[in-house]
Structure 1
Amino acid sequence: MVKYTAKEMRELMSAQRNIRNMSVVAHVDHGKTTLTDSLVSKAGIISEKKAGQACFTDGRPDEQQMGITIKSTAVSMCFELPDNVLSAITDREEIGNAFLVNLIDSPGHIDFSSEVSAALRVSDGAMVVVDCVSGVRTQTETVLRQALGEWIKPVLFLNKLDRAMAEQQLEPQELYIRLRAVVEHVNALIATYSSEEQAEAMGGLTLDPSIGNVGFGSGFQGWGFTLRSMAELYASKFGIKVEKLMRNLWGERYFDSKTRKWTNERPTESSTNGFVQFVLEPIYRVLRSTLLNSEDPLKLAEKLSISLSTEERLLKERDLLKLMLHRWLPASDAMVELICVHLPSPITAQRYRTDILYEGPMDDAAAIAMKTCDPNGPLMMYVSKMVPAFGKGRFYAFGRVFSGTVTTGMKARIQGPNYVPGGKSDLHEADSIQRVALMIGQKAESVNDVPCGNVCALIGVDKYLVKTGTITTFKDAHNLRVMKFSVSPVVRVAVQPADPKDLGKLVEGLKRLAKSDPMVQCIVEESGEHVVAGAGELHLQICLKDLEEDHAGVKIKRSDPVVSYRETVTGESAQMCLAKSANKLNRLFMKARPLPEGLAEAIDIGDVAPRGDTTVRSKLLHDRFGMDTSDVRKMWCFAPDDSGPNIVIDSTKACQHIQDIREAVCAGAQWALKQGPLGDEPVRGVRFDLYDAVVHSDSSHRGGSELLPATRRCMFASMLTAGATLFEPIYAVEIQCPESAIGAIYRVLNQRRGHINDQSAIGSSPMFLVKAFVPVNESFGMTEALMSNTSGQAHPQCTFDHWQVVPGSPTDVATLAGSLIQGIRRRKGVRLEVPDLSFYLDKL
């Protein structure tokens, strides 16, 4: 029985200080969804018996079948907080004990981390879940980096203590050392990916169990605690305040039973610290009584004030252990405390997040309303993803209201990611928003309106947006910053209908697929071939399944997966390159060279962007990348797609009509750099300098039809004279395995051009962690090869890490670069040989 109706939730939405928007993030299989079940059960959405097994937020059949989360899922829940927890919250409204938590459970598999980006954009806080047995893993680091990049405040929950105690049989002192090491590791990552200024603005980011922002427990068994909840149990016994006792329950603090005082020194050689003595030992006592019969568990239950029914008293061993710990230390209580006490309200978070989210000036009406979270200000809402609705082909636009109030039937401006203030492209005027709804798992509950500080879904705007966008009522509004993903769509397959008559259905299905997934790209090649690009093999597998079963509803044929490459240059052009327009009345002179190291990556993640404050961008390019300030001022564009990792600079001196051709040259750059000269692959990491231009004085002779092809040929010639070559994507691979399997792993990786860069034992366990780099092109079938060569003992996790130059000459098919380029050209149906320089270069 749901405790709160949609109407009651709507009333709570106006109490902004009592709202928490948060995501649950973790590495795959660290137990996020199982933990989330405890909260969903406490909110009355599922029964207590189902918690830990229902995986409520995994609503898709393939999620249930595979046991992993694929799509991020939102659940709005209300909780009544006890007075002792309320007293610890300073940022709240005095309207009773109810708090509204908008929780988003996100995937842990690296292939689906674009879903994590969509979840974090609409959140203010994140609960980072770490399996205390395997510790911090690749995706733990990735999601923390993503969260801190969005200025999301983290809390930590150390999960699977039951495994550490029962399976690994760690003693209490060993478990404390393991837990302390994980906390220290996470804090080291936070220090790496955040700044002092950020930590100060967000009220401190250090995770410290003694202040209560770290939880411990077992999602599977449904129990958990923070040091606050443990201190509450002992405070009256010791006669000291809860906050003071919390500081004694972590670190090297010992209780001297003779003097009845806390000390930094061990009273005796056998003394254990406060955490081991007063937190872990009682939990181990319950475990020993139920599994080892060290004492009567029912008498122990009475001592701990755990009430059991007559039926429950008949339970044996593990079932009794699970029930006793769940009744004594409910995981949901610990998590509600973590979320409500230590994560910020929208009012607090939007004060510091507006600066990094809003692309416009900080003194316009939209920015001011966002900073103050003003429900009466202009509407500013960011749609972070599209959620398939139950009607065929329709989508809910899911997002966060940052200012104003979104109302059913209201008119609004819908600005796509490419909208430029004052322009008309990627801008739509919606007649009306048909419906506003709250998301509770797979269900949408209609409400009349939703004020700022909340998340919601809109019906009726899917026809205007492909994936993301800004919805506003302010005519001078700038966009909310486009999300940047930690993965790239580097694996591609070509698709076609099994029955040619179904081509129309496939095309419509591809459009729907592009909407439904934040990362997937659906491309039509020049040959007419339809290509689907995803982050990895599993991501593509899920996308193609959705395409076939849901979006297109037709059987499809697919090619073998292939890899996306990039074209680049290795040096500066050896000569000045000239290209003339078709009418011979305009001339362009260019050279190409590599971008400064790290700049392409900075453009990818949005540190350097075409929009935003040009003064800030200029300073960054000068200070961090050593670019000349005069060059930065004369930067014409980023390309391709107006935001890609290449730049065009006007290096001309006293050239007539140069500004008249800027638009045409930039348009030519967008075209040229989308498909480079070697294999029609996108260009990456190249700076193009326009050194001179002869421009006809009559505008009718210097139009786009003349200058676009000339720009393209000039850029291609510049690249070919600058050592054009190929970049290939590289996976960072993490493999967890026993020591006996390491030799087989080395053999498999060496056969796939892999490079092993680290190998280390995982804590005190018998498992090892092998880290390596493997080209994405060599990764297909690698999981199966590792599993078969190690008898199923090696489990790889692959994440896109960087681009690397392919060895060899692009024109010599005997080398790797040459053979790859020939394969790309053959697949795309173009002439096998790379065109000669003379094909692009003109003579004076």
Structure 2
Amino acid sequence: MPVVSAQQLAALLPHTSHVRNICILAHVDHGKTTLSDALLSTNGIISTKIAGKARYLDSREDEQERGITMESSGISLYFKVLRSQGAGSAPDALKAHEYLINLIDSPGHVDFSSEVSTASRLCDGGFVLVDVVEGVCTQTITVLKQAWTESVRPILVLNKMDRLITELRMTPLEAYTHLCQILEQVNAVMATFLTGELLEADARRLEEAKLRLVESGQSDAPDATFDWTLQEMDDSHIYFSPELGNVIFSSAIHGWAFGIRHFARLYAAKLKVKESLLATTLWGDYYFDPKAKRIIPHKQLSGRNLKPMFVQFALDNIWTVYESAVIQPSPEKVEKIVQALGLKVLPRDLRTKDSQALVTTLMTQWLPLSTAVFLTAIDKLPNPRDAQAIRLPRLLHPFADPAPPPKDDLERAMYACDATPKSPIVVFVSKMLVVPTALLPENQRVQLTAEELRAIGRRKRQDATANPEDRTAADGSPLPATNLAASDANQCDNAAPLLDTVPTDDQVLIGFCRLYSGTLTPGQTLYVLSPKYDPQLPPESQPQFVDKVTVGKLYLPMGRDLLPVPQVYAGNVFAMGGLENKVWKSATLTSSLACPSLAQTSTISAPIVRAALEPAHLQDMKQLVEGLRLLNQSDPCVEVFIQESGEHILATAGELHLERCLTDLRGRFARIEIHVSPPIVPFRETVAYQLAGTGATAQDASAVPRGNLIPVHSRGVGIMPSSVVTVTTNNQLVELTLSSRPLPPLVTAFLLEHQVTIRHCLRRIAEKDGSASVAVGKGDLNSTGETLGHVSKHQLLDLKEFMAQLRALFAQDELDSKTSWGAVVDNIWAFGPKRTGPNLWVNNMPDYTPRPWSQPAVVPQSTGHGAETTATTVIQAMEAIQLKDSIERTTAPQPATAGDPSTPSLGRLAIRDLEESLLTGFQLSTLNGPLCAEPMVGLCFTVESCRLVRDPNAHPVDPTGGSSGAPSAYQVALATLPGQVISATREACRQSFLTWSPRLQLAMYHCEIQASADVLGRVYGVIAKRRGRVLSEEMKDGTSIFQIEAKIPVMESFGFADDIRKRTSGAASPQLVFSGYETLDVDPFWVPTTEEELEDLGEKADRENLAKRYVDQVRDRKGMFVEKKIVASAEKQRTLKK
């Protein structure tokens, strides 16, 4: 039973200065949950004997089985510390200070890094754990970056110090050198963050200076100069150093930790040195001269063999305890240590044969972990009021440097963490939690304390004594005195509602929140602002982003339980009910519509692994849809959408994340049997710098014979030499000629990196033109799930800067490859797919100037959560629009516009009338390539001509539609023309693509593995089996552990982690992070043609074509035609004897 009551925790909520919101961040298996267990044991939630083994905050069954955290969990802890009244007070005049510690344990696996994003936004400080043996790993850098981005003040915890003693058998001096190296690695990572931010800030100031000169008309002046200098900045506060108090040395599994100041207080009186001086010299190249009784630096060492003070006064003592208790057990030495340190250890604990339990008992009494961690959190981490004054300006004004002062009462209240009842209410909902209704506190038995039970018993006995005639049995006879206690006990037990009266099948959604301003009580009505809400626009113009909600029950999170509270004050982390059907994944709740949306967290992992789901029984489809809705709301990284085929697709961050989501669907949300397809991995389609079937380069395109091009089996399509394709619509009215060529790799990478910039420019210009319904692609080809609000500062460029950098890249390619791109940047018509992708649609018609790419066409925008605009929807919408326009033009003919060079006449038609059809065809073709209907990457399609094949004047239009009232043949041709132009454009782009040598781009994982020398060969074997390649192999200094970095295709990664663990007997475990796409340099249409190839491989190409296998797998999954040989070798068949 917890030693801290709910009333004690609730009483601390109003005291903002005594509240700390802390998260625990680290790489996987670096000890986060073990550290949490040690802190929980101080509040009596779990026993100190099972701390580190219970994994209390890992409440899921699969978390306990795998031994890793998959969901972030919060808990509120109580801590009391005795402090002196002041400098002039008596030494024994101590005052108790009570603190509320809101602790959040986050996952360390990269598949669940979205949980880290939600946890860091709620907290003001964090403990970053680093395994002293493994050192700085990939996810360590990631969580440090997340803390830097969210302005979370970190404390470094060098954990698993016991491994240096028991596993690596280092001496204290070797351990000290090793710890210094780890500290340098972490500080080097922090320095890169600061350098990047300073460079971005200075570059932004330079651009602002240029813009001011342009606006003043001085940009062309000969004396217009720009100063580009780095601003000096004090960076001492961002680094970790033990003397600053922001580094803790610990062993969470053995329950001990300490900071420099602990030993400074311990030795100050003995050495007769000031505690402040000792705290600054215990770490570093400082030595204690025993003869002179003074501290000397390294330069005064004069060749004497003295140990650094940290080794002499801290590490030597810890090593002595471990050597006496674990390495070379000696009961006599242990007893001396107990007496010297003044520890209270029971005799049975001293006689135990379990050395691990003995050292845990000794160290937890001497250097308790909870005391070191909590004191560091109180002294070095800010309270909510101080933290919000730093974090909120950067959150509300991310592009301002420096951040401006508060502009209104709302910002002043948020900056000051104002908890007065009159201040505006601002709540950030970080994520939604799905909780069974039966587990809510209001539906459970009320747990009474022993004192409350005794008070109820006394009151019952008093009532029975005062009215003995009322105490009768069922037959009317008085109850004997011996049955009074039993009757009272039964009545007490039946006072609370029984659990079986609560429906256990229902699920309820509650929000995991942080209150930035105001005081929140149940029953209040607040506005719900979605992430896309803009306070600068009138609320009535964006009703889809604003809603109202009534605040439900309020709770304090207690791990797997919830503690009800009557109200919550600003600066606290809590859970809130009543948000179902009001909040999707995250939102901002506020009492003022002038509040900006805070629900924009940066995501780390991308939902790259997908699977198609269907119920085992058709009648369970409704439960599957409802389960997917709950899963989508409760998981920040999950994406759920429906394909054109009607399949329900679940997109996750990785294989482990997919397994967890399927477990939740089957066991918690849908509770039905589900059939799951093999994992779906995205590909990209691109081309190599040579034409199909030849070794010719792009410069030799005109020399390619026509016979090498892939034939087209459709009417009206013909292909000219090189990559030029001529297409005629089925009604023989319009002929389109276009060509294609691959973009330079640097240009493709630039377009992929700045898709958000393109989308931002399109939206800004659409807003200026009043085109509120402009459809801009939601996703991008990186599959990052990133919206405009999730963009860092360096990713956004203005339109002029974007175009200038694009021109520079094309100019660089002209110098490097000796090819000419001409004015391709000025003639860009559109980007694709989704109008933001890395493919170009360029106009090269000399007599036509199209609409600029920055003015996209108006297309009906899809609605619904996670839905994608399908090709059928676009075609139907465009055909409907063009059909209406065509009929209007045929019934009311307009004069030809041959005199206007921008719109050359096509009889009664103009190219501008077909412009939207051409753009739609381009978007559809780049969204679904010809190989396996995957998006194209790195292609430039150029429209050479668009002309009328037949003279429309040969088919005069009858305005009345003829005597029968039916439209004429020419009217029907015009009405169907837009759809035919879309189809023809799409087919032309696909065929022009195939004239080049096509390639597949594979999604790749960056893999990091730590393994010892004895299993290194097995790790290499598994990587080679999975078609991966090793990038680097380094041995960590001071250890026998190798750090291996490799690249592995996502397609081949399923089961990779289990395979590694099996082959190495659990000695190695990989960490997979999505790293983008790489081109597989294999032509999927390759067959042996030369004499050497035919001689080596034969006509059937016995060597497997990997690209062809991938293409066939994707086409087969999508229901497309796949060329299969049912009988591979008919002459080799035989008839079995009966």
CA distance in 2, matches of 1:683, 1:86: 70
Q: 1:460 to 1:661 in 2, by over 3 A?
A: same
The alignment partner of 1:466 has SS state of: coil
Letter in 2 for 1:297: V
Shift of 1:107: 1.0
Shift of 1:170: 1.4
**For residues 362-410 of structure 1, what are the alpha-carbon distances to aligned partners after superposition, in whole Å with 9 as ceiling and x for unaligned?**
6465544433333354333222211111223322111222333433112
Q: 1:85 to 1:459 in 2, by over 3 A?
A: farther
Residue 522 (str. 1) matches residue 640 (str. 2): yes
> What does residue 333 of structure 2 align with?
296
CA distance in 2, matches of 1:677, 1:419: 35
Gaps of 5+ in 1: 88-93, 695-704, 834-844
Q: 1:670 to 1:121 in 2, by over 3 A?
A: farther
> What does residue 385 of structure 1 align with?
431
Q: 1:579 to 1:96 in 2, by over 3 A?
A: farther
Q: 1:627 to 1:659 in 2, by over 3 A?
A: closer
Task: Select the residue among 720, 730, 749 that pairs with 1:597.
Answer: 749
> What does residue 374 of structure 1 align with?
418
> What does residue 858 of structure 2 align with?
663
Normalized against structure 1, the TM-score is what? Answer: 0.85
CA distance in 1, matches of 2:603, 2:515: 21
**For residues 472-517 of structure 1, what are the alpha-carbon distances to aligned partners after superposition, in whole Å with 9 as ceiling and x for unaligned?**
2222333225223222222222222222322221221121121222
Q: 1:786 to 1:612 in 2, by over 3 A?
A: closer
Q: 1:230 to 1:684 in 2, by over 3 A?
A: farther
Task: Select the residue among 429, 443, 462 that pairs with 2:580.
Answer: 462
Residue 449 (str. 1) matches residue 563 (str. 2): no
Letter in 1 for 2:749: E
CA distance in 1, matches of 2:799, 2:131: 38
- Taking only the aligned residue pairs, the percentage that are identical comes to 33
Q: 1:232 to 1:689 in 2, by over 3 A?
A: farther
**For residues 584-628 of structure 1, what are the alpha-carbon distances to aligned partners after superposition, in whole Å with 9 as ceiling and x for unaligned?**
99x999999675635634647799947999999335983898247
The alignment partner of 1:204 has SS state of: helix
Moved more, 77-86 or 587-596: 587-596
Residue 739 (str. 1) matches residue 1013 (str. 2): yes
Shift of 1:537: 1.7
Residue 131 (str. 1) matches residue 158 (str. 2): no
> What does residue 296 of structure 2 align with?
263
> What does residue 397 of structure 1 align with?
511
> What does residue 659 of structure 2 align with?
541
CA distance in 2, matches of 1:28, 1:748: 21
> What does residue 786 of structure 1 align with?
1060
Matches within 5 A, 1:8-407: 8-83=8-83, 97-195=97-195, 204-265=237-298, 266=301, 269-291=304-326, 292-293=328-329, 295-316=332-353, 317-358=355-396, 363=407, 366-375=410-419, 376-391=422-437, 392-407=506-521
Letter in 1 for 2:1113: G
CA distance in 1, matches of 2:928, 2:378: 52
Letter in 1 for 2:283: W
> What does residue 796 of structure 2 align with?
617
Q: 1:608 to 1:99 in 2, by over 3 A?
A: same
**For residues 311-367 of structure 1, what are the alpha-carbon distances to aligned partners after superposition, in whole Å with 9 as ceiling and x for unaligned?**
444445432221111101001111112222222222333333334433799646554
> What does residue 802 of structure 1 align with?
1076
Matches within 5 A, 1:670-709: 672=923, 675-678=927-930, 679-681=932-934
Letter in 1 for 2:621: L
CA distance in 1, matches of 2:100, 2:553: 21
Kindly indicate whether the alpha-carbon contact (under 8 Å) linking 2:739 and 2:992 is maintained by their aligned counterparts in 1: no
Number of residue equivalences: 817
CA distance in 1, matches of 2:597, 2:30: 36
Task: Select the residue among 603, 626, 632 that pairs with 1:485.
Answer: 603
Q: 1:72 to 1:709 in 2, by over 3 A?
A: farther
> What does residue 837 of structure 1 align with?
none
Shift of 1:789: 4.1
Shift of 1:78: 2.5
Shift of 1:189: 1.3
> What does residue 429 of structure 1 align with?
547
Q: 1:648 to 1:657 in 2, by over 3 A?
A: closer
Letter in 1 for 2:240: L
Letter in 2 for 1:104: I
**For residues 437-484 of structure 1, what are the alpha-carbon distances to aligned partners after superposition, in whole Å with 9 as ceiling and x for unaligned?**
211111122223323322221211131223222222222333225223
Shift of 1:288: 2.6
Q: 1:808 to 1:461 in 2, by over 3 A?
A: same
Residue 756 (str. 1) matches residue 1030 (str. 2): yes
Q: 1:689 to 1:447 in 2, by over 3 A?
A: farther
Shift of 1:202: 9.4
Kindly indicate whether the alpha-carbon contact (under 8 Å) linking 1:601 and 1:645 is maintained by their aligned counterparts in 2: no
Kindly indicate whether the alpha-carbon contact (under 8 Å) linking 1:676 and 1:716 is maintained by their aligned counterparts in 2: no
Moved more, 476-485 or 611-620: 611-620
Shift of 1:731: 0.9
Q: 1:68 to 1:597 in 2, by over 3 A?
A: same
Shift of 1:522: 2.4
**For residues 534-577 of structure 1, what are the alpha-carbon distances to aligned partners after superposition, in whole Å with 9 as ceiling and x for unaligned?**
22221111111111111111122222223123456889997799
Shift of 1:414: 1.8
Moved more, 457-466 or 478-487: 478-487
Shift of 1:47: 3.0
Kindly indicate whether the alpha-carbon contact (under 8 Å) linking 1:418 and 1:426 is maintained by their aligned counterparts in 2: no
CA distance in 2, matches of 1:80, 1:737: 43
CA distance in 2, matches of 1:81, 1:301: 25
Q: 1:770 to 1:305 in 2, by over 3 A?
A: same
CA distance in 1, matches of 2:392, 2:726: 45
**For residues 94-138 of structure 1, what are the alpha-carbon distances to aligned partners after superposition, in whole Å with 9 as ceiling and x for unaligned?**
996222221110111222212112111212222111111222222
CA distance in 2, matches of 1:396, 1:83: 39
The alignment partner of 1:146 has SS state of: helix
Moved more, 666-675 or 39-48: 666-675
Q: 1:490 to 1:530 in 2, by over 3 A?
A: same
Kindly indicate whether the alpha-carbon contact (under 8 Å) linking 1:231 and 1:246 is maintained by their aligned counterparts in 2: yes
Normalized against structure 2, the TM-score is what? Answer: 0.64
**For residues 221-251 of structure 1, what are the alpha-carbon distances to aligned partners after superposition, in whole Å with 9 as ceiling and x for unaligned?**
1011011122111122223333321221112
CA distance in 2, matches of 1:517, 1:627: 38
Shift of 1:811: 6.5
Q: Which of the pair is proportionally richer in strand?
A: 1
Task: Select the residue among 1114, 1117, 1131 that pairs with 1:827.
Answer: 1117
Kindly indicate whether the alpha-carbon contact (under 8 Å) linking 1:588 and 1:714 is maintained by their aligned counterparts in 2: no
> What does residue 439 of structure 1 align with?
557
Kindly indicate whether the alpha-carbon contact (under 8 Å) linking 2:81 and 2:96 is maintained by their aligned counterparts in 1: no
Q: 1:85 to 1:329 in 2, by over 3 A?
A: farther
CA distance in 2, matches of 1:614, 1:625: 19
Kindly indicate whether the alpha-carbon contact (under 8 Å) linking 2:1007 and 2:1047 is maintained by their aligned counterparts in 1: yes
Q: 1:663 to 1:469 in 2, by over 3 A?
A: farther
Q: 1:625 to 1:507 in 2, by over 3 A?
A: farther
CA distance in 2, matches of 1:676, 1:194: 42
Moved more, 156-165 or 199-208: 199-208
Moved more, 743-752 or 222-231: 743-752
